[in-house]
Amino acid sequence: MADNALFQFLLRMGDNSLILGHRVSEWCGHSPVLEEDIALANTALDLIGQTQFWLGLAGEVEGKGRSADDLAFLRDAWDYRNVLLCELPNGDFGRTLMRQFLYDAWASVMLGRLMTSSNERVAAIAAKASKEVAYHVERSGDTVVGLGDGTEESHARMQAALDYLWPYVGEMFDGDEVDAAMVKAGIAPDPASLREEYDALVSKVLGQATLTIPTDTFHHKGGRTGYMHTEHLGHLLCSMQWLQRAYPGATW
């Protein structure tokens, strides 16, 4: 059971970075300016690199000989454990950067805690990834402020993005028996315990961006437990997994 809980926890970490990394990579060649194109591609690259560590370890813990690639390309939607926020479509540039900021803020707090994990492998991956996420959150936060406190048009788009995405934030702080097992083993923190630090960071940046956080506390869920993903995940997997599905085992 302990190993299965650890496997599930690692899938959640790896699937978050994989699915968001894939989403961000969809911008490659389509960004408004060259610098942003490079920045988004680099962010996607970091996230997919982190995925290799998380899913690589997940495969080892599972003990069935599955590699990070097997887990990424040969699972179907119901076996994915990412939060719904990561799989939502990019929308416009503003919404993409708002989603990135809401995720980066969570990742920066979570990875900071995981650096003191009782599991040395988890702590090592977190230490590596947190250095990259520090860059991501600085940039996505700056962009959210720049666009939020920008023109009338950019402000309206950023407020609309926040209103659309906010109901997906709460899932990152949900807990279940997998999290309880991780807390007991000293491997990972209780997700709810990250909320205070997260809210402090997010309210500060969104305040600077002159944006208003919605007051409704309802949140969507079902991604991290695998209970029910949005319809968007299947479409994403169609594109991401196409090659391995059409030509199983293909390498180059």
**Which among 33-41, 98-106, 167-175, 181-189 is the span making contact with another protein, rule CB under 8 A?**
33-41
Contacts of 138 (CB under 8 A, 6+ apart): none
- For residue 52, state whether it binds another protein (rule: CB under 8 A): yes
**Which among 60-68, 75-83, 121-129, 231-239 is the span making contact with another protein, rule CB under 8 A?**
121-129
| Residue from 172, 39, 51 nearest 109 by CA | 172
Between 121 and 195, whose beta carbon lies closer to another protein? Answer: 121
For the CB of residue 224, give the shortest distance to another protein in the complex, in Å.
22
**Which among 46-54, 197-205, 207-215, 237-245 is the span making contact with another protein, rule CB under 8 A?**
46-54
Looking at residues 61 to 80 of the shown chain, list those that interact with another protein (rule: CB under 8 A): none
- Residues 186, 81, 47, CA angle at the centre, nearest 5°? 85
For the CB of residue 129, give the shortest distance to another protein in the complex, in Å.
6
- For residue 111, state whether it binds another protein (rule: CB under 8 A): no
> DSSP of 104-172, one letter per residue?
HHHHHHHHHHHTT-SSHHHHHHHHHHHHHHHHHHHHHHHHHHHHHTS-HHHHHHHHHHHHHHGGGTGGG
Query: What is the pattern of x (binds another protein, CB under 8 A) and - over residues 150-189?
Result: ----------------------------------------
- For residue 119, state whether it binds another protein (rule: CB under 8 A): no
- For residue 23, state whether it binds another protein (rule: CB under 8 A): no
Q: Which SS3 state, helix, strand or coil, does residue 223 take?
A: coil
**Which among 120-128, 171-179, 211-219, 221-229 is the span making contact with another protein, rule CB under 8 A?**
120-128
For the CB of residue 139, give the shortest distance to another protein in the complex, in Å.
5
Question: Is residue 219 within 8 Å of residue 171, measured between CB atoms?
Answer: yes
Selected binder of another protein within 49, 167, 175, 222 (CB under 8 A): 49
**What whole-number distance in Å separates Cα of residue 28 and Cα of residue 34?**
10
**Per residue in 57-73, is it b (16+ CB within 10 Å) or e — as a string?**
bbbbbbeeebebeebbb
Between 15 and 179, whose beta carbon lies closer to another protein? Answer: 15
- For residue 116, state whether it binds another protein (rule: CB under 8 A): no
Question: Is residue 170 within 8 Å of residue 219, measured between CB atoms?
Answer: yes
**Which among 32-40, 70-78, 186-194, 204-212 is the span making contact with another protein, rule CB under 8 A?**
32-40
Query: Within the chain, where are the H helices?
Result: 2-25, 34-62, 68-73, 84-87, 93-114, 120-148, 152-165, 177-184, 195-208, 231-240, 242-246
Q: Which SS3 state, helix, strand or coil, does residue 92 take?
A: coil
Which residues of this protein are in contact with another protein, per CB under 8 A? 35-36, 38-39, 41-50, 52-53, 120-121, 123-125, 127-129, 131-132, 135, 138-139
